[in-house]
Structure formats: structure tokens, C-alpha cells
A and B are shown apart, each in its own frame.
Chain A
Amino acid sequence: MARSDRLGYDRSYRASQEALIELYILSLGDGQVFRMVSDTDFTGIVSFAGKAFAASQIVASGFRWQMPGAAVRPSLDIQRPAKPLLAAAHNGQLEGAVMQRIATFASELDAPHGTGGQSCFMPEDWPVNRYTRLQDSRLQIELGSIAGFEGKFLPGRVMFSDFCQHRYRQYDVRTKGFDYHNATCPYTDSRYFTAEGVQTKNPAEDSCSLRLESGCKKRFSAALPFLGFPGVRR
């Protein structure tokens, strides 16, 4: 239905976006977990995917993605932290702890705040770097990015141009059938090819070369599920 505002414009085309909610999960090395949400959005308890998040006085800042320059150091400022959290901080248990940040739309929260869709954006993990303030009434944590730690290399995963990284099915000699446990390649057909890409009638010889021409294109016709990057140079 078209709705006009007082100037006569139809505003029904406007894209309406719901409130974006940020949820914080602080996981300690000893298994303790603290779930929090900023109290500027909610009071009491907010539930997401069956887990309860306590509305707390949190100010989160500095979260961003950047390529050049110094590593990002976001911080989480918690006013009047919960007693167990404060105790953990005093005992040094926040060392090695990881803060997970989950962004989602309000409608994805469980009832009564949303419809329980449970979908969210990619959760981000931010390890605790140090405390910048530790008082009874205030806990300020500085976070670091995982890539900023010593011994971490980028990229985290190697891109191969020639090889597919799917796990192919295995022929089981005992059952005379294929084992698809942990297989990620969608191929389930009964046309068999050897590792050289030659068609064979013997299922025991079925093996994928993991190559585009001799493996993938032999098995699939239209959309190739090739999990390599033929476009990269090496």
C-alpha cells in the first residue's frame, strides 16, 4: 500500500533496515563464559540462539578492519562489571581469553525481542591483549586481532591454482561401496574415472586427480564445484 508523507511523496520504497545488535561473548581459558549486550539497546536479559546475554554497561570502540598501518586495538569498557568477571580479572584469568563479537539484526534474537531466526554475521574473535583499567567499578580491556600475534602468517590458507581442495569419496573394499564420511566433493555418480582421468568400469579405481581438466571436468558437466583458484598465477 502506498503511503504518502505530508509533502505528498510516496515513501513506501524506502529500504527499512532493522536495528543492528552487537553481542559479546568473553570466553576464559578455564571454560567460564560471560555473555553481554550493551544496555543502550536492552535491559535485563536478551536471548540469542538459546543463550542468555546480560544487558551491561558496555562501551565498545575501535572495531574496524584495516590493511595498512598499526594493528587494530579495539577496547571494551565495562562499567560495574559482574562480580565473577571482576574476580576473574583480578586472578589474571583473562589472560589468553577470547572475546567473540557477533553482529545480528534485532529480529534474529529469540522471543520476546525477535522471532528467533538465529542468523548472524560472521562472528569475529578478538583475543584479550591487556587491561587498561581494572577498578571495582570499571573494567577496561584492550583487545587485539588474531593476525596481530607473533608467529601468524598471512594468508592463513594457501590458494592453489591447479589443485582442488575438496575431499573426494573413498572406495571401501570391504563393503564394495563408496564411503562419503567427511567427503566434501558433491560427486555421487556411478561413472568412474582413474586419477589420470580415464573412464573405468571398476569402482575401486575411482580416484580424483584434483585437477580441473582430468578430475573435475570429467565428472561434472555444467557447474564445476572446483575448490581451487585457476585464476591465480601459481
Chain B
Amino acid sequence: MISPSVYTRLEAYARQAAPQEACALLIKKNNRWQLEKLANLAANPETSFAVDSAEIERLQDGREAMFFHSHPFGPGYPSLADMHGFMAGNMDWLIADISVQPAQFFTLGHHRNTDLHRRPFRHGVTDCYSLIRDYYHQVFKLDLPEYARGWQWWSEGQNLYRDQFQSAGFFQLGEGDPLQKGDIALMRLRAHCVNHAAIWCGEGLLFHHLASGHGYDPHRQPQYDPAERFAPFIEGWLRHHTLLS
């Protein structure tokens, strides 16, 4: 747990560094998070950041640590580069969107979010795929891979659901095959490729996390919907190969 005073200090630091992105390392010392500021070495510090990895290693000194950086002009969700950077290391990432008052903090963490029903839509952190991943972890004890993704990847040339389902251990069901709990409905919502997926709960019900027009929307919570309502958008069904019945 990070104490409120640490958040206050991080926000003050990030606002002082604005319009540049602020970077820091949080190191756990005697069960308390200690703040170590890092210089942003990027050529364009207002839109990106770069830090000295040797410096991080020296400061961390084998202790538990979190990496912090700020988004001076938003957005309130990780960028594609953020997700790549987070996945390359083993530290949790703390990001602050200081374009809003008060600053919005969110974590790109290696732990699993266990609350499946109350979570804001935050692309890359708690989005439709995160829900499926956390659901599979909780219900089937299956670890699905994480994918670095940027908001609106479906219109930026990526086709993640179509390209990755096989490597994640899923196979496509034939038309008319009976469904079982945990099957995944692939949907295309206002896009040129499959950009949304939902979990089949049986009895005609889907469980999913819809996005709105924004990568961060606290009002969009995971929801149950009769599958009939989404039938026109469903392009196919997937099943995990270990869930063959």
C-alpha cells in the first residue's frame, strides 16, 4: 500500500516538473515507500521519458521498488510504449495523469486484479481483455498471456484478438457448435476488425467490459448482457484448448 502522503509528494513533484514528464523510483524501506527522483533524459521530455537503467539498479539495490512517471497532458491510461516498457521489466509501474484535478494515479501491476465486477474502463489496465484474463485466472486457474496494446489498436493496424488467440491457447468453434461456460465471443464494434470480446456465462448471458469513446471511463463497468443483444456484432467464438468437454 502506498500512503496518501507519498501520493501527495508524487503529485507535487509531477506538477512542478510539468510540462515535462516526471520520473521517479519508489523504494520500499522499513515497510515504507521512499521517493527517489530520476532525471528525464528523453530528447522530447514533454511527450516521452528515458531514464538511466544503471542508476535505477544502483538505487534499487535489490529492494522492492516501483517505477513512477507522469502524463502531464494525460491520457489516463498507459500508452503502447508504457506497456512495452512495463512488460520488459519486473517492476510495477505507477502512472499519474496530472491533466486532471486531483491527479489520477493508476498502476500497471504484475499482480492480478481480483475484483471482476467493480473496475473502471482503463485501456491496457482494466479493459475487455484484462477482464477475460482475470476471469480465466480466477475461475479456471489459467494464466493467459499479456499483450502490449495502445488505445484504439484496432484502427492503428493491429488486429490483436485475431492474430493472438491461437498462441494464447484458443481455437475457433464451428458455426452452431454448442457453447459452454468460459467460451469467448469475438465482436467487431464500430471497427474494421475484431476489437472486443466477451465471456459466455451460459443461459444466454455474456459478461464483458465495454469501452466508451475514451480510453479511460470510470462509468463503464463490467456488465452482464443477454447475448441476443450483441448477436449482430459477434464474428466468432473461441474456446481454450484445456476446457474441452
Contact = CB atoms under 8 A, between A and B. Distances in A.
B224 interface: yes
Contacts of B224: 188
Contact of B227 (A117, A167, A178, A180): A180
Rank and list the top 8 A-B pairs by shortest CB-CB distance, nearest first: A180-B204, A181-B204, A188-B224, A183-B226, A180-B226, A180-B205, A117-B192, A179-B203
B192 A116 contact: yes
B154 to A, nearest CB: 11
Residue of B205, B223, B224, B226 contacting most chain A CB atoms (<10 Å):
B226
Given A185-B226, A186-B225, A180 B192 contact: no
B203 A184 contact: no
Interface of B: 192, 203-205, 223-229
**Main DSSP-derived SS at the A contact region:** loop
B204 A182 contact: yes
A148 to B, nearest CB: 28
A175 interface: yes
Contacts of B203: 172, 175, 177-181
A215 B106 CA distance: 40
19 contacts: A116-B192, A118-B192, A167-B228, A175-B203, A178-B205, A179-B204, A180-B203, A180-B204, A180-B205, A180-B227, A181-B204, A181-B227, A181-B228, A182-B226, A183-B226, A183-B228, A184-B229, A185-B226, A186-B225
Given A177-B203, A179-B204, A188-B225, 4 more contacts: A169-B226, A172-B203, A183-B226, A188-B223
B192 A184 contact: no
Contact of B228 (A117, A177, A180): A180
A184 B228 contact: yes
B204 A186 contact: no
B65 to A, nearest CB: 42
A115 B191 CA distance: 11
Interface in A159-181: 167, 169, 172, 175, 177-181
Nearest to A182: B228
A116 B226 CA distance: 29
Contact of B229 (A116, A172, A181, A186): A186
A9 B203 CA distance: 61
A118 B190 CA distance: 11
A188 B192 contact: no
A185 B1 CA distance: 41
A78 B81 CA distance: 55
A115 to B, nearest CB: 6
Nearest to A114: B192
Contacts of A186: 225-226, 229
